Amino acid sequence: MPAPKSLMAPAEKWWRHAVIYQIYPRSFADGNGDGIGDIPGIINRLPHIAGLGIDAIWVSPFYTSPQKDAGYDVADFCDIDPIFGTLADAEKLIDTAHELGLRIIVDIVPNHSSSQHEWFQQALAAPPGSPERARYMFREGRGENAELPPNNWESVFGGSAWTRVTEKDGSAGQWYLHLFDSSQPDFNWENLEVWEFFRGVLRFWLDRGVDGFRVDVAHGLVKLEGLPDAVATDQPAVGNVGPQWNQPGVHEIYRDWRKVLDEYGDDRVMCAEAWVFPLSDMARYVRSDEMDQAFNFAYMATKWDANALRRVIVESLEAFDSVGAPSTWVLSNHDVVRHASRYGIDATTKAQPTGFGPTSAHKPDEVWGLAVARAATTVMLALPGSAYLYQGEELGLPEVIGIPDNKRQDPTFFRTSGERYGRDGCRVPIPWVKDATAFGFNDSGKTWLPQPSSFGPLSRDQQEGTEGSTLELYKKLLALRSSLRLGTGAVEWLPGYGDSIVAFTNCGIAVIANAGDAEVALPDGELLISSAPLSGHSLPPNTTAWVKLAD
Ligand code: NOJ
């Protein structure tokens, strides 16, 4: 069913300047009290999110799944896992979003399936060389008895990217590739059956009215021919380094998908999750006959450093502009440390942490982190293009550090024997009501990850209507961004500011961000908003302001 009229025929494509809010269903709102968020919970709470002033939601996977990787291990791409609800619930969610004036993007996970997917089960039951095995990446092992994996590739979650199967006769058999957990076998995208299958999945959801797809691991589907060993590197396994990532062949897939989306009109969108650097390489995913957007991870990875910020903004605008695409901007998602904590780590700490836990060497300074996070968001929402928000960032939620080891769920934690804490800390169920069971996440009190007591004062009901709260800051920023049409404008750098200041104009608004350690005078004009209270017309450190310039 098509989107309602009110959503159609915008002067320019809606996604070029949209603010898109990520819902992570497990942790958003739990309708049935089993401790895991679900679709009825989302439907119930969606009006709050629409009230933020966003344009669309992106919903992380809700498909049938054994949940080994929180739903990114899909056993049936065209049905809903009972923990999240039913297909009828999903259809209702799509309709509810549209009635609220929101577009809805769903996740598609084409690099791998769950090992419980019927195709993989058939592959395990079939002999080497069979058409069933040809849908996945099965290979013979190396070594005298094929006891070594076919190559040295590592799983993104730690350990080898290969697992050996036991053949039907009980003998040790072939190996299959999984760039992620062993429960997530990689599809073989050289097999046209896989292409046809995913065209069907796209149409299945488009027929139900979704406005687009966030494409998981978009840079991983095609592997370098021959699957050669990766050259050892001290870089994390995610990225465009190595024969398993960013192969030119992936673009053919998205050109094919573009045609499928275009069967449904000209406003369905695809957004690439492609950890590809530099940005000029990432921009190849959004050429006019491929996808529409790509998550700007280079921007997300940039520290609160004015020179670095200016550089990444320029690079982003140039790279995406060169292919006629808008830039996106993002600071948090379900895979990274929440930005309110990330910015609280001493800027001189080299490594971006892969999660925090009780024994982590560096602990974020949460007061500092939140101040910078608010300032950083105030920069982000003034930039032209499309911005992504992650549930809970509008409450200023920090990463949860104190999750006990025996409650952790991320396969990263287990595959690295606890060396990397992984992503659970950004996935804790979000707080709605301070004085309610599970902070209003449900009414049973069960939560799949424990909520810290520090979530209480950050609950939505405490921030709603509270002057100076992070929630009110987001609402006001979003309202101004929309009324001033900042998403459609252009960045022009303002001269005369020192090295530690990011200063630009967009649509007649000066945006000044102070990443230094001294106050800076604001330009003449009307102060529209600031990420922290100001005294007078000057900007303290770790603060951003928008000023309507005097004529
Ligand atoms: C990226 C997703 O965002 C992440 O959560 C998931 O674990 C991997 N892809 C594998 O699907």
Strand stretches in 50-190, DSSP E: 56-59, 63-64, 76-80, 103-108, 138-139, 162-166, 172-177
Task: Please tell me the distance between residue 513's alpha carbon and the centre of ligand 1 in angstroms.
Answer: 32
Question: Which range is least confidently modeled, 66-70, 260-264, 347-351, 532-536?
Answer: 347-351
Question: Ligand 1 test: best mutation among 217, 271, 295, 390, most atoms within 8 Å of CB?
Answer: 217
Find all residues with CB under 8 Å of 364, minimum gap 6, and list them.
Answer: 341, 342, 343, 344, 345, 356, 398, 399, 401
- A 10 A CB-CB count for 228 gives 14
**pLDDT over threshold 60, residue 3:** no
Q: Hunting for tokens 């996945």 — which residue is that? A: 136
Q: Going by DSSP bridges, is the β-strand pair 328-330/63-64 parallel, antiparallel, or unpaired?
A: unpaired
Task: Calculate the average pLDDT of the chain.
Answer: 95
SS3 492: strand
Q: How many helical (H) and strand (E) elements, i.e. helices and strands, does the chain have?
A: 13, 20
Pocket lining: 345 vs ligand 1, CB cutoff 6 Å:
no
- A 10 A CB-CB count for 526 gives 10
Rg (CA), the chain: 23
**Ligand 1 atom 2: the closest Cα is on which residue?**
216
Q: Calculate what percentage of the chain has a pLDDT beyond 70.
A: 95
Task: Please tell me the distance between residue 112's alpha carbon and the centre of ligand 1 in angstroms.
Answer: 10
Q: Going by DSSP bridges, is the β-strand pair 269-272/103-108 parallel, antiparallel, or unpaired?
A: unpaired
Tell which atom from ligand 1 comes closest to the C-alpha of 69: 7
**pLDDT over threshold 60, residue 9:** no
**Ligand 1 atom 11: the closest Cα is on which residue?**
72
pLDDT (0 to 100) of residue 348: 64
Separation of CA 375 from chain center? 20
SS3 176: strand
SS3 501: strand
| pLDDT, average across residues 158-174 | 96
CA 372-378-382 angle, to 5 degrees, is 145
Task: Please tell me the distance between residue 307's alpha carbon and the centre of ligand 1 in angstroms.
Answer: 31
| DSSP-assigned states of every residue in 207-238 | HTT--EEEETTTT-SS--TT-PPPPP-SS-SS
Distance CA 87, CA 84 (A): 10
Task: Please tell me the distance between residue 73's alpha carbon and the centre of ligand 1 in angstroms.
Answer: 9
Q: Kindly report, residue by residue over 309-344, the tens digit of the pLDDT.
A: 999 999 999 999 999 999 999 999 999 999 999 999
Task: Please tell me the distance between residue 472's alpha carbon and the centre of ligand 1 in angstroms.
Answer: 31
Pocket lining: 28 vs ligand 1, CB cutoff 6 Å:
no
Yes or no: say if 173 and 147 are a contact pair by the CB < 8 Å rule. Answer: no
pLDDT (0 to 100) of residue 350: 61
Q: Kindly report, residue by residue over 174-223, the tens digit of the pLDDT.
A: 999 999 999 999 999 999 999 999 999 999 999 999 999 999 999 999 99
* CA neighbor of 388 nearest in space, from 472, 302, 327, 325: 327
Q: Calculate what percentage of the chain has a pLDDT beyond 90.
A: 91
Yes or no: say if 241 and 135 are a contact pair by the CB < 8 Å rule. Answer: no
**Ligand 1 atom 3: the closest Cα is on which residue?**
335
Tell which atom from ligand 1 comes closest to the C-alpha of 179: 10
Task: Please tell me the distance between residue 217's alpha carbon and the centre of ligand 1 in angstroms.
Answer: 7
In b/e form, how buried is each residue of 126-162, taking b as 16+ CB within 10 angstroms?
A: beeeeebbbbbbbbebeeeebeebbbebbbbbbbbbb
Pocket lining: 180 vs ligand 1, CB cutoff 6 Å:
yes
Q: Hunting for tokens 């921007």 — which residue is that? A: 299
Of the chain, the end-to-end C-alpha distance in Å amounts to: 48
Pocket lining: 186 vs ligand 1, CB cutoff 6 Å:
no
Pocket lining: 72 vs ligand 1, CB cutoff 6 Å:
yes
- 402: pLDDT confidence band, cut at 50, 70 and 90? very high
Helices (DSSP H) in 11-113: which residue ranges? 39-50, 87-99
Q: Kindly report, residue by residue over 276-309, the tens digit of the pLDDT.
A: 999 999 999 999 999 999 999 999 999 999 999 9
Distance CA 49, CA 58 (A): 12
Pocket lining: 109 vs ligand 1, CB cutoff 6 Å:
yes
What is the set of active-site residues?
A: 216, 263
Pocket lining: 335 vs ligand 1, CB cutoff 6 Å:
yes
**pLDDT over threshold 50, residue 73:** yes
What's the predicted TM-score (pTM) here? 0.96
Question: Ligand 1 test: best mutation among 63, 180, 245, most atoms within 8 Å of CB?
Answer: 180
